[in-house]
Amino acid sequence: MKVTDNSEDMAGYGSYSFSESVPVRYSCGVLVIGAGPSGIAAAVSAARAGQTVVLCERYAFAGGMLTLGQISPILGSVCPGTFADEFIGLLREEDGGCPEYRTRNGREIPADRETAKRVTDRLIHSEKNITFLGSTAFVSVMKRGEHVCGGIFSSQSGLFGVESKITVDCTGDGCAAAAAGAEYSVGRESDGGIQPMSLEFTLTGVDESRAITAWGGSDPVKIPSGPYAGMEYRELCKAKNREGELPRNVTIVRLHGGTRPGERSVNATQTNGRDPLDPESLTGAGSDLIPQIAACHDFLRKYIPGFENSVIKSSSDAIGVRESRRIHGIDAVTDEDVGTGRARPDAAVHSAWFLIDIHNPAGGGQAEGFAHEAKPYDIPYGALVPAGVPDMLVAGRCISGTHRAHASYRVMVICMATGEAAGAAAALCAASGRQPSELPPEELRALLRKRGVEM
């Protein structure tokens, strides 16, 4: 490796350049970067379309926010027949069947992180065309001329390359597309405000005979007994926040039902105004959020019947970043699409639905007072194709769309569906030597329909 000190040219801490010859250790048709809900779907989808796939993930195991982030429940819906149906079926089978909840969020599928780890691992390894590389962080894209021909990754033994025909960026943060030169937006169009980061945690030992569930700040559930009997839970949360018994900006402690009796998935902690792309800001988020877990639990034990003897089973291993880069595509999901339920003849995902759930970038609760309704909408194929970047697709929460639209399509079922579509499109392009921008959406739709996707 050749390292050059450029410090004299620069103010502040200066800079270094380094150049290194990187060995190519793998070659494949489709490289998928990031093994979260979208990446798993993309890898399986491309492999089932006959391509060799390398799936690279910076953590040791797959699942992204579902496993590392301990996010539960799985939310959102799309048309029947997608990979999400298969995945949820496998989860429930592995868990011996588990409850399903119906709320204003739609269908809530609780997911146990250990079960999710086993299911994702088995799924990936049961596809013989997939090579899964964990503990492998994306560093940069490889280019041949203007063409993206794979990625460079770091490992404990140094850098190595993975050569590919098509690369699918499923990192959530759009790292690979950005490194390849894609343009992107971060945050709300009006002021750049970014949804807060959180750490989710799971409680056990909740007394089901007395305890409530509460899916969010517009849930009118009442406290059933004790000194606050009859009071709306959401009002008690706000009051205890004002009294300083809940952390600043935590005005609602969401209590989702678990996979087993006595469990709750708690979505409450939050830290505002942080930059998801800055390591110092992310580190500060961890220090800010860890004590909030104990504070929220203390509140529950002290004031909410049935939670007195609950214990914290576990919490997220990764900072929960709700939004970062939205890569600019040749098309995008717009506010209008989500608000009016626009049908698209070029849909890659049909009938996507979730509330427009914008956690307040500037304080507690929701940015717009409450989560507005969306109508089932289509995600156009062009939202998965980064503008001006060849040989690449994006899937998951970093696809092309507005801040409000993103607040709907960022949930896991919809991310899986964009992953499945991007993986299938990547396979079609890799097999035929076409660019993603040249692929007629109808060809992708025909392949998805053949698999049973009702679109």
In the complex, which residues of this chain contact ligand FAD (CB under 6 A)?
Answer: 33-39, 56-59, 64-65, 69, 71, 73-76, 137-138, 170-173, 175, 198, 200, 267, 320-322, 396-397, 410-412, 415
Which residue, 52 or 265, is less far from ligand FAD as judged by CB?
265
Residue 426 CA to residue 49 CA, distance in Å, equals: 9
Q: CB–CB of 353/102 below 8 Å?
A: no
The distance of closest approach from Cβ of residue 69 to ligand FAD in the complex, given in angstroms and rounded to an integer, is 6
Nearest one of 419, 436, 432, 455 to 170, comparing CA atoms: 419
Distance CA 247, CA 235 (A): 15
**Least separation in angstroms between CB 173 and ligand FAD:** 6
Q: Could you give the C-alpha distances from 167 to 52, 134, 148, 204, 320, in angstroms and in order? A: 12, 17, 8, 41, 25
Of 414 and 448, the one with the shorter C-beta distance to ligand FAD is: 414
Q: Hey, how many other C-beta atoms are within 10 angstroms of the C-beta on 69? A: 22
Nearer to ligand FAD, 139 or 231 (CB): 139
Min CB(332)–ligand FAD separation in Å: 16
> Minimum distance between the CB of residue 72 and ligand FAD, rounded to whole angstroms?
6
Neighbours of 95 (CB within 10 A): 19
Question: Closest approach of Cβ 280 to ligand FAD, in Å?
Answer: 17
CB of 10 to ligand FAD, least distance (A): 25
Cβ neighbours of residue 158 closer than 8 Å, sequence gap 6 or more: none
Largest Cα–Cα separation, the chain: 70
Which three-class secondary structure state does DSSP give residue 218?
A: coil
Q: Which residues contact 132 (CB under 8 A, 6 or more apart)?
A: 35, 43, 55, 57, 62, 124, 125
Compute, in degrees rounded to 10, the torsion defined by CA atoms 44, 47, 48, 50. Answer: 170
Q: Between residues 74 and 358, which has the closer beta carbon with respect to ligand FAD?
A: 74
Closer residue to ligand FAD in complex, CB, 305/386:
386
Tell me how far, at minimum, the Cβ of 350 lies from ligand FAD, in Å.
18
Residues 187 and 193: beta-carbon distance below 8 Å: yes
3-class DSSP assignment, residue 245 = coil
Using left for φ > 0, alpha for ψ between -120 and 50, and beta otherwise, residue 64 falls in left
By C-beta, is 223 or 394 nearer to ligand FAD?
A: 394
- Nearest distance from C-beta of residue 7 to ligand FAD, angstroms: 27
Q: Are 40 and 32 in contact (CB under 8 A)?
A: no
Contact predicate 257/101, CB 8 Å? yes
Peptide bond preceding 380: is omega within 30 degrees of 0, i.e. cis?
no
Q: What's the min distance (Å) between Cβ of 24 and ligand FAD?
A: 18
Q: Which is nearer to ligand FAD, 57 or 378 (CB)?
A: 57
**E strand or H helix that includes residue 369:** none
Structure tokens at 27: 């070659």
Q: What is the closest distance, in whole angstroms, from the C-beta atom of residue 262 to ligand FAD in the complex?
A: 20
3-state secondary structure of 246: coil
149: DSSP letter: E
Cβ-based nearer residue to ligand FAD, 350 or 359: 359
Distance of CA 278 to the CA centre of its chain: 18
Nearest approach, Cβ of residue 345 and ligand FAD (Å)? 25
Residue closer to ligand FAD, measured from CB, 99 or 224 = 99
User: Which residues make Cβ contacts (< 8 Å) with residue 344, sequence separation at least 6?
Assistant: 337, 378, 379, 380
Q: Is 422 or 430 the residue whose CB approaches ligand FAD more closely?
A: 422
Minimum CB distance to ligand FAD smaller for 411 or for 448: 411
Nearest to 168 by CA among 374, 353, 19, 384: 384
